[in-house]
Chains A and B, each alone.
Chain A
Amino acid sequence: MTSHDVTTGAVTWPDQLYDLLKRANITQFAYVPDAGHRVLIDRSLADPDVHSVALTTEEEGVALLAGADLGGARGVLLIQSSGAGNCINMLSLNKGGKFPLLMLISMRGEFGEGNPWQFPMGQATQPVLEAMGTIVLRAEAPAEVIPTVEAALTMVFQSGETVAVLLTQRLIGAKKFA
């Protein structure tokens, strides 16, 4: 499996990632709209077999997916690094209640960032998540995405952990500012 189409050079890992999440029986896709997660969000919106849940703030998604777990369903939370900060107290559910949680976090405020407002939370994302008991994995290159999320799925839904996979700015590219 490659992460780019060999003839067109197009990025293919986002579609492969959606297919992987579907194979893992993820049925609730919760997100705050974000360009970094565009393919996953759009495919969940077009998929009649999953719930596509737009949130007003990221911590809603932590609680939503704990509720899903109470009802025997699996979900994924798609957020930006700035939104990781909005989740912190709500992650008490996961650390204290042993609710499994998979977060995919598109990173800002790191490699090549041109917006100074993004640095405080971007640089703090990994340490504050780890302080709340979340295991943090990083995907730096296209070929790392699928194996990293496969590992995270096992850690979350087999072992009951809370895992954040950081889709790094080296992977997704820095947004351009004039």
Chain B
Amino acid sequence: MARPKKLQVNPMPETVLDRRDVIPLLIENPHDFLVVAGLAGSAQELTAITNDGPNVYALAGAMGAAVSMGIGLALAQPKRRVLCVTGDGELLMNLGALATAALMNPPNLTIICVDNGHYGETGNQDSHTGFGVNLAKIAEGSGIPAVLTINTMDDLPEGSRLVRQGNGLAFILLRVKEGKPLNTGRLMNPAVGRTRFRQHALGHV
């Protein structure tokens, strides 16, 4: 009978990076950005590395929202650099958002997909990327102009350059091992998060 099978068409190297090491190195000073963080691991991690910063809107629901929110925010704030940090499961729920991002092409938006190949929040089940679906190829096929896959520490300098100095829309697939994200607890009230973010970004509610 039919069941998910490991894909043979997208061979990718074994994951070696630990997200808790590599995400802070990739983003460096997260306070330089306005950030939308997709639910679960990404939201926990961005909250942790900003010490619960008001420049991070951390989702704990609305799965599939992160990239679209990043587009809307980047269009609204063209002079600020916007990061959308999300996971493979969250992104898989709305792949069409990559196509929309490419069409709108906001030059101040970088999308980072932290791909651990698993649904870390719901019991660590394999995600489609764990079976071999390659989100970087989907981003390329969508027409996003700069697409980078980070497999090892050697790939990090180019990733940091794209995040900080990139002159156009970029997608970074950050392939990491299974394992817990940095987690220091996070704000779970979405309305308070909105007010706090707007106060920070706009100077008013």
- Which residues of A lie under 8 Å from residue B64 when comparing CB positions? 59, 63, 90
How distant is the Cα of A61 from the Cα of B69 in the complex, in angstroms?
9
Instruction: Report the stretch among A4-12, A39-47, A64-72 that lies at the interface.
Output: A64-72
A71 and B72 contact, CB distance less than 8 A: yes
A57 and B198 contact, CB distance less than 8 A: no
Cβ of A87 to closest chain B Cβ, rounded Å:
11
Instruction: Report the stretch among A15-23, A95-103, A116-124 that lies at the interface.
Output: A95-103
Q: Is the interface of B mostly helix, strand, loop or mixed?
A: helix
B94 and A66 contact, CB distance less than 8 A: no
How distant is the Cα of A75 from the Cα of B74 in the complex, in angstroms?
14
Q: Which residue of B lies closest to A50 (CB)?
A: B75
A71 and B34 contact, CB distance less than 8 A: yes
Within 8 A of A (CB), among B171-205: 190-191, 193-194, 197-198, 201-202
For chains A and B in complex, what number of residue pairs have CB atoms within 8 angstroms?
117
B76 and A70 contact, CB distance less than 8 A: yes
How distant is the Cα of A27 from the Cα of B190 in the complex, in angstroms?
24
Residue B70 at the A interface, CB < 8 A? yes
Given A56-B96, A71-B77, CB of A28 within 8 Å of CB of B72: yes
- Which residues of B lie under 8 Å from residue A99 when comparing CB positions? 194
Residue A143 at the B interface, CB < 8 A? no
Contact among A70, A73, A96 with B191 in the assembled complex (CB-CB below 8 Å): A96
- Which residues of B lie under 8 Å from residue A90 when comparing CB positions? 62, 64-65
Contact mask B126-142 → A, CB, 8 Å, 1/0? 00000000000000000
Cβ of B122 to closest chain A Cβ, rounded Å:
16
Residue A89 at the B interface, CB < 8 A? yes
- Say which size band chain A's interface belongs to: 20 to 34
How distant is the Cα of A66 from the Cα of B76 in the complex, in angstroms?
11
- Which residues of B lie under 8 Å from residue A67 when comparing CB positions? 36, 68-74, 76
Contact among A51, A57, A96, A97 with B94 in the assembled complex (CB-CB below 8 Å): A57
Within 8 A of A (CB), among B63-106: 63-66, 68-77, 80, 94, 96-97, 99-100, 103-104
Given A70-B201, A90-B64, A97-B194, CB of A64 within 8 Å of CB of B96: no
Cβ of A61 to closest chain B Cβ, rounded Å:
8
Cβ of B99 to closest chain A Cβ, rounded Å:
6
Pick from B71, B99, B197 the residue with the most CB of A within 10 Å. B71
- Which residues of B lie under 8 Å from residue A56 when comparing CB positions? 96-97, 99-100
Residue B57 at the A interface, CB < 8 A? yes
How distant is the Cα of A92 from the Cα of B65 in the complex, in angstroms?
11
How distant is the Cα of A28 from the Cα of B197 in the complex, in angstroms?
20
Given A93-B62, A96-B190, CB of A68 within 8 Å of CB of B72: yes
- Which residues of A lie under 8 Å from residue B68 when comparing CB positions? 59-64, 67
Residue B61 at the A interface, CB < 8 A? yes
Pick from B66, B69, B71, B193 the residue with the most CB of A within 10 Å. B69
A28 and B191 contact, CB distance less than 8 A: no
How distant is the Cα of A89 from the Cα of B94 in the complex, in angstroms?
13
Pick from A27, A60, A73 the residue with the most CB of B within 10 Å. A60
**Can you add 9 more A-B contacts, CB < 8 Å, to A64-B100, A97-B190?**
A54-B100, A59-B65, A66-B69, A67-B69, A70-B57, A70-B72, A72-B198, A89-B62, A97-B191
Q: Which residues of A contact B (CB under 8 A)?
A: 27-28, 51, 53-57, 59-73, 75, 89-90, 92-93, 96-99
Subset of 19 A-B contacts with CB under 8 Å: A51-B75, A55-B100, A57-B94, A59-B65, A60-B94, A60-B97, A63-B64, A63-B69, A67-B70, A68-B72, A70-B34, A71-B72, A71-B80, A71-B202, A72-B201, A73-B76, A90-B64, A97-B194, A99-B194
